[in-house]
């Protein structure tokens, strides 16, 4: 059976929650493979709205949901999110949620370090959420992280804490922060351990067995390809690899486990925080996109920057993630625009570019080359077939396909799960 990876193909916030929810009905397992609780997913199911930032979207559909080793896990946030969903009638147990034993933990000290760095005078802000994601990944690659399995052994836990504090206390001193309370940290970890350990499992083994049994696995990514630590707009990126290739490593499967890569793409462009944004709008059109699209972060509430669709960036991310087809979302936000623009290239110091350069100063100097298209006055909201779309909207979608060199597999016309036009079935064998 086919296994599908879902990734954001812009700067995140593309509507992955709805698409994953739409696909999860046909999946047997939903696996989250990177990021932390800095990534928000909003699911609208009937009259209920679920806001997830750590748990895989499949949990609200009763699917076996997995948090892979590529994720960094805040155990206190996990407890709170499980309790919140419980209050909405979604019961999370080890029968429907598993956490990889080798998942690294986010501790309170990580968030403190994150916020202290962002607030340091004279240091350029990255625009992080301040939730400790970056520092937790630093400790992981620095081989001083505390992992889920460590919570089960007191002696190992103390050794891990000592190694961790040898690094962090020196950092904190330089930032004017007090040393970590070792005993308090160990006590807090021992207290949260019973809330986490029942979910711990060898996820790689569970998924391998599921695959051999012919189960369909849906791999869920967070953020977007342009926030990838290697291929994003560095340093204004997240701290993990957000591309589709990470799906295999982030859960403990090989690359042959991936059969279809679905890139989620908004019909315009947004980003949160600092960093280059060639097609950004500062006029009434930009305000209109933000207002109609309700462009505020699920996790932080920060207002998103808005701009026209950037075909250059999406073509680039489709290549780096090996996207098989895209899910185009929020087409209805463009309803009523008399004229639409698509960024088809950049000008950099008098030279035309067909990709975003790597150097930060060059990225900042890129200016967009626009192609104009006729808009439409009719509503696309709620359309469930091509026949229900205005001709100009269809032309817009087809032009996007040409420019990004990738077909549309799904078309989303509202936050409602069923307001989706299926072109290509990602789960088809």
Catalytic residues: 13, 41, 140
> How far apart, in whole angstroms, are the C-alpha atoms of residue 222 and residue 8?
7
> How far apart, in whole angstroms, are the C-alpha atoms of residue 67 and residue 65?
7
Peptide bond into 235 cis (omega under 30): yes
Is 351 among the annotated ligand-binding positions? no
**72 DSSP β-pair partners:** 104
Is 330 among the annotated ligand-binding positions? yes
Is 195 among the annotated ligand-binding positions? no
Radius of gyration, alpha carbons of the chain: 22
Nearest to 45 by CA among 31, 57, 29: 57
> How far apart, in whole angstroms, are the C-alpha atoms of residue 9 and residue 232?
11
Is 298 among the annotated ligand-binding positions? yes
> How far apart, in whole angstroms, are the C-alpha atoms of residue 92 and residue 62?
9
Going by the DSSP 8-state scheme, the letter that residue 369 receives in this structure is E
DSSP class per residue in 134-191: HHHHHHHHTT---BGGGGG-HHHHHHHHHHHHHHHHHHHHHTTPPPP-HHHHHHHHHH
Cβ neighbours of residue 122 under 8 Å, at least 6 residues apart? none
Is 68 among the annotated ligand-binding positions? no
Task: Classify burial at 269, counting beta carbons within 10 Å of its beta carbon; exposed 0-12, middle 13-18, buried 19 or more.
Answer: buried
Is 303 among the annotated ligand-binding positions? yes
Is 18 among the annotated ligand-binding positions? yes
Is 215 among the annotated ligand-binding positions? no
Handedness of CA 274, 279, 284, 290 (dihedral sign): negative
Is 41 among the annotated ligand-binding positions? yes
Is 332 among the annotated ligand-binding positions? yes
Is 16 among the annotated ligand-binding positions? yes
Instruction: Report yes or no: 218 and 29 within 8 Å, Cβ to Cβ.
Output: yes
Is 143 among the annotated ligand-binding positions? yes
Is 405 among the annotated ligand-binding positions? no
Is 341 among the annotated ligand-binding positions? no
Is 345 among the annotated ligand-binding positions? no
Nearest to 5 by CA among 402, 403, 323, 396: 323
Is 361 among the annotated ligand-binding positions? no
Find the helix packing angle between 108-119 and 182-196, rounded to 10°: 120
Neighbours of 349 (CB within 10 A): 9
Phi and psi based region of residue 122 (left: phi greater than 0; alpha: psi -120 to 50; beta: remaining): left
Is 417 among the annotated ligand-binding positions? no
Terminal-to-terminal C-alpha distance of the chain? 6
Is 412 among the annotated ligand-binding positions? yes
- Can you tell me whether residue 17 is helix, strand or coil? helix
Is 420 among the annotated ligand-binding positions? no
Going by the DSSP 8-state scheme, the letter that residue 422 receives in this structure is E
- Can you tell me whether residue 307 is helix, strand or coil? strand
Residue list, annotated binding site: 12-18, 38-42, 129, 143, 223, 238, 298-304, 330-332, 412-414
Residue list, annotated binding site for Mg(2+): 13, 40
Residue list, annotated binding site for IMP: 13-16, 38-41, 129, 143, 223, 238, 302
Residue list, annotated binding site for GTP: 12-18, 40-42, 304, 330-332, 412-414
Residue list, annotated binding site for substrate: 298-304
């Amino acid at each position: 059976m086919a296994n599908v990876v879902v990734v954001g193909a812009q700067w995140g916030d593309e509507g992955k929650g709805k698409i994953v929810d739409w696909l999860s009905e046909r999946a047997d397992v939903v696996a989250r493979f990177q990021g932390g609780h800095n990534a928000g997913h909003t699911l609208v199911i009937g009259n209920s709205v679920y806001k997830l930032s750590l748990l895989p979207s499949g949990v609200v559909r009763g699917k076996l949901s997995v948090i892979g080793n590529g994720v960094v896990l805040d155990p206190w946030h996990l407890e709170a999110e499980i309790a919140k969903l419980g209050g909405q009638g979604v019961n999370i147990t080890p029968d429907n949620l598993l956490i990889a034993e080798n998942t690294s933990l986010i501790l309170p000290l990580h968030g403190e370090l994150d916020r202290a760095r962002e607030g340091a005078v004279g240091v350029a802000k990255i625009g992080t959420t301040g939730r400790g994601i970056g520092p937790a990944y630093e400790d992981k690659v620095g081989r001083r992280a505390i992992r889920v399995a460590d919570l089960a052994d007191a002696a190992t836990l103390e050794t891990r804490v000592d190694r961790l504090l040898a690094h962090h206390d020196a950092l904190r001193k330089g930032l004017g922060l007090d040393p970590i309370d070792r005993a308090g940290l160990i006590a807090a970890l021992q207290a949260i351990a019973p809330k986490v350990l029942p979910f711990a499992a060898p996820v790689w083994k569970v998924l391998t067995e599921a695959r051999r049994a012919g189960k369909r696995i849906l791999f869920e990514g967070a953020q977007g390809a342009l926030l990838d630590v290697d291929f994003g707009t560095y340093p204004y990126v997240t701290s993990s690899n957000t591309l589709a290739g990470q799906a295999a490593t982030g859960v403990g499967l090989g690359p042959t486990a991936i059969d279809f890569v679905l890139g989620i793409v908004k019909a315009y462009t947004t980003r949160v925080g600092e960093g280059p944004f060639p097609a950004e709008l500062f006029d009434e059109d930009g305000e209109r996109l933000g207002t109609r699209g309700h462009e505020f972060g699920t996790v932080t509430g920060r207002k998103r920057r808005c701009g026209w669709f950037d075909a250059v960036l999406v073509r680039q991310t489709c290549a780096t993630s090996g996207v098989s087809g895209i899910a185009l979302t929020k087409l209805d936000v463009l309803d009523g625009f008399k004229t639409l623009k698509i960024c088809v290239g950049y000008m950099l110091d008098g030279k035309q570019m067909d990709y975003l350069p790597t150097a930060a100063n060059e990225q900042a100097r890129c200016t967009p080359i626009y192609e104009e298209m006729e808009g439409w006055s009719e509503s696309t909201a709620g359309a469930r077939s091509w026949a229900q779309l205005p001709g100009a909207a269809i032309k817009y979608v087809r032009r996007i396909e040409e420019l990004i060199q990738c077909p549309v597999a799904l078309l989303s016309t509202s936050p409602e799960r069923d307001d989706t036009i299926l072109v290509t079935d990602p789960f088809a064998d």
